[in-house]
Amino acid sequence: QSFSAKLYMSSAVLIFHLSHKVTRVVPESALLIVLGLFLGGIVWAADHIASFTLTPNVFFFYLLPPIVLDAGYFMPNKLFFGNLGTILLYAVIGTVWNAATTGMSLYGVYLSGIMGQLDIGLLDFLLFGSLIAAVDPVAVLAVFEEVHVNEVLFIIVFGESLLNDAVTVVLYNVFDSFVAMGADNVTGVDCVKGIVSFFVVSLGGTFVGIVFAFLLSLVTRFTKHVRIIEPGFVFVISYLSYLTAEMLSLSAILAITFCGVCCQKYVKANICDQSSTTVRYTMKMLASGSETIIFMFLGISAVNPDIWTWNTAFILLTLVFISVYRVIGVVIQTWVLNHYRVVQLEIIDQVVMSYGGLRGAVAFALVALLDEKKVKEKNLFVSTTIIVVFFTVIFQGLTIKPLVQWLKVKKSEHREPKLNEKLHGRAFDHILSAVEDISGQIGHNYLRDKWSNFDRKILSKVLMRRSAQKSRDQILNIFHELNLKDAISYVAEGERRGSLAFIRSSSTDNMVNVDFSTPRPSTVEASVSCLLREKASSVCLDMQALEQRRKSIRDTEDTVTHHTLQQYLYKPRQEHIHLYSRHEIIQNEDEKQDKEIFHRTMRKRLESFKSTKLGINQPKKLNKSHKRDRGQKRVRGLPFTQTKDVEFSDPEENYESLHMDKGVDFLANVTKQNCTDATSGIDNPAFSADDDQSIYMKFPPWLTDEDSVVPSQRARVQLPYSPNNFRRLTPFRLSNKSVDSFLLADGPEERPRAFLPETTHM
């Protein structure tokens, strides 16, 4: 019997994952619950016994940890910690508020007698309030997966759902023990003890998580020779953190969350690629599977008439209260928060937050844990909880997406955007991204800087493999600083491997201090409205493009143009952020785009640097004249002697430029040669180097000219230090100073920029 049920479950999971169309409308969680109900109904009809229910033990020890670990491990850390204050406020104060108000209101209504005769006291109501108040991470994730909201909103709701576990656990345990003691025996001391226990539980749980994260990172540092079981360590140690916290009666969810959150950076840096992939896929699989099972079990467990107690007033009022109080709580807290936040939370965000406060399996598991001897009306609570969970997951889950879309429709226009609008609109987005980057984040966060210093100096040295440390000089998950040296290395390596292949390969990440794979946080326009507007234009276009095609043949060219543009325009940053997905490993489309652009930009910079240094005054037109000039120059023989004839506006400047130019010229030419085999036969003005001669630059200039040992490439592009040293006009002489900066040596002090160890060998 159980075997057949399991078969049904697995086939159901497969079917749901195959049909994306269905899940676009109905959240998967809802479907699973319905299916569970269905199955339970079958079993009940067949045997008149209740089939398996979701026992709290199974839930808390086997089903919940993978999900929470998955959430923690893939948590976008910078975003999380950046909004930690907000998240904590909602998680702690919000949950307490919800619990208190719901419990007390229910009690008040009970006193008025509408509910009829029940064997309940105030404490029971408060206990019930505390377990029904918590927003559930599983349910939230399941639903938000379908509804793409902006990242700040997502992290707030999601973070809240994770962190409120501490509050829930404390409240639950406190009230549970109060109920056990009996209402009359509760003293003020006990209340104080309760409050203290909150801090102990939450901070203790966090501490346990951090300790295990440290342990895990340390272990992975030394697993170089046992690569096969690296993934095993990750899972085992994380699970240990969960169990340990549970054993110590601390908040286990917090423990495993913070274990995942804190270890991710080091573990990802330390373990090899294959292990990393294994970990990722396994985690997703476990989390996905657990989630499926949880929801199905929720459905199945509901079909258990033994527990069904129906009390209309109680159930209805519970639903009403939790919704209403959540809204009130969110509004008040947002109002307070907006005074302290730079990026404000708008009405739409608040709507989504209130509406997205789903209850789920955690509440159910907690209620199932209740002792019916102490809580006489346990069955009532269970039934109500089931209904509440079903309501929020199914109804709210189903309607949140249309709600969000309805809000979006109000803001956008239903019109086929014209070519110009699309193009310029996209340009505006890019411009805005760039200006945002230039104007910087909200300001140097003192704490963040301190942490990153500490991390860089101490933590990473301990926890990261030496090889990983080397390739990550700065730890913060932002783009590292580029200098021209990195650019040259990057482009050179690219040309060595063949332009397009290089761009498409995944191993370019360590080339420069650029981390292509992490999504970059955006503080811009953190309102749902703006992001939704983006979605609107792309959705509208597709439908209307189809219509257009049907309308007239004459406009096919137009449609094609639109379609091409739509498909191939580079996406602005706001659009291609897809932070967290339970069911997908985030595809690397963005990486490709980034690499293409990066490659192009680096080449352009090299060329423009080259052109300015040669003293040619370049207007911003295409470098046609440049091409001509340089072609002529080159024809005349050895490049070195040639450039000597160029006016020396500034002797040292040009000498430095000589260094650079030789490197740059060489690269540009190698580039050009390799570029002609571009796959789609693109003759790209942006890509093709300017000059057309290839013969003269077959060898790097230093090889043709020099009478001394060929210096390494890095040495070649070093800038001499002192500006007034005319000794340097003699043929290539290695500079003794190793200053890694391309800036003209104006100042007395040159701080060497962070640079990579040898990455290319030419």
Q: Is 570 in the site for another protein (CB under 8 A)?
A: yes
CB atoms within 10 A of CB 6: 11
Q: Is 300 in contact with 37 (CB distance < 8 Å)?
A: yes
Q: Is 522 in contact with 151 (CB distance < 8 Å)?
A: yes
Q: Is 343 in the site for another protein (CB under 8 A)?
A: yes
Q: How far apart are CA 635 and CA 283, in angstroms?
A: 61
Q: Is 557 in the site for another protein (CB under 8 A)?
A: yes
Site for another protein in 648-687 (CB under 8 A): 678, 680-686
CB of 499 to another protein, least distance (A): 9
Q: Which of 310, 395, 428, 454 binds another protein (CB under 8 A)?
A: 428
Q: Is 6 in the site for another protein (CB under 8 A)?
A: no
Q: Which of 97, 128, 154, 598 binds another protein (CB under 8 A)?
A: 598
Q: How far apart are CA 164 and CA 655, in angstroms?
A: 63
Q: Which of 602, 658, 660, 756 binds another protein (CB under 8 A)?
A: 602
Q: Is 535 in the site for another protein (CB under 8 A)?
A: no
Q: Is 340 in the site for another protein (CB under 8 A)?
A: no
CB of 664 to another protein, least distance (A): 15
Query: Which range of residues in 87-95, 186-194, 394-402, 558-566 is near another protein by CB under 8 A?
Result: 558-566
Q: Is 478 exposed, middle or buried (0-12, 13-18, 19+ CB in 10 A)?
A: middle
Q: Is 731 in contact with 640 (CB distance < 8 Å)?
A: yes
Q: Which residue has 């540009």 as its token pair?
A: 668
CB of 440 to another protein, least distance (A): 4
Q: Which amino acid is at 489?
A: S
Q: How far apart are CA 65 and CA 365, in angstroms?
A: 14
Q: How far apart are CA 739 and CA 757, in angstroms?
A: 14
Nearer to another protein, 206 or 350 (CB): 350
Query: Which range of residues in 217-225, 560-568, 714-722, 730-738 is near another protein by CB under 8 A?
Result: 560-568
Q: Is 128 in contact with 9 (CB distance < 8 Å)?
A: no
CB of 33 to another protein, least distance (A): 39
Q: Which of 113, 188, 305, 440 binds another protein (CB under 8 A)?
A: 440
Site for another protein in 714-753 (CB under 8 A): 742-743, 746-747, 749-751, 753
Q: Which of 165, 429, 495, 665 binds another protein (CB under 8 A)?
A: 429
Whose CA is closest to 372, among 185, 201, 621, 120? 120
Residues near 606 by Cβ (< 8 Å), separated by ≥ 6?
484, 487, 488, 491, 664, 667, 668
Nearer to another protein, 165 or 690 (CB): 690
Pair of tokens at residue 22: 């269905």
Size of the site for another protein (CB under 8 A): 92
Q: Is 621 in the site for another protein (CB under 8 A)?
A: yes
Query: Can you spell out the DSSP letters for 20-40?
Result: HHHHHHS-HHHHHHHHHHHHH
CB of 513 to another protein, least distance (A): 7
Q: Is 444 in the site for another protein (CB under 8 A)?
A: yes
Q: Which of 283, 514, 531, 719 binds another protein (CB under 8 A)?
A: 514
Q: Is 415 in the site for another protein (CB under 8 A)?
A: yes
Site for another protein in 488-507 (CB under 8 A): 500
CB of 444 to another protein, least distance (A): 5
Nearer to another protein, 112 or 680 (CB): 680
Q: Is the alpha carbon torsion for 697, 698, 704, 708 positive or negative?
A: positive
Q: Is 563 in the site for another protein (CB under 8 A)?
A: no
Q: Is 483 in the site for another protein (CB under 8 A)?
A: yes
The alpha carbon torsion through 92, 93, 99, 105 (nearest 10 deg) reads 180
Q: Which of 3, 340, 446, 726 binds another protein (CB under 8 A)?
A: 446
Q: Is 692 in the site for another protein (CB under 8 A)?
A: no
Q: Is 251 in contact with 205 (CB distance < 8 Å)?
A: yes
CB of 159 to another protein, least distance (A): 21
Phi and psi of 144, rounded to 5°? -65, -15
Q: Which of 418, 628, 644, 737 binds another protein (CB under 8 A)?
A: 418
Q: Is 285 in the site for another protein (CB under 8 A)?
A: no
∠ CA 349-254-136, rounded to 5° = 45
Conformation bin of residue 48: beta by default, left when phi > 0, alpha when psi is -120 to 50: left
Q: Is 622 in the site for another protein (CB under 8 A)?
A: yes
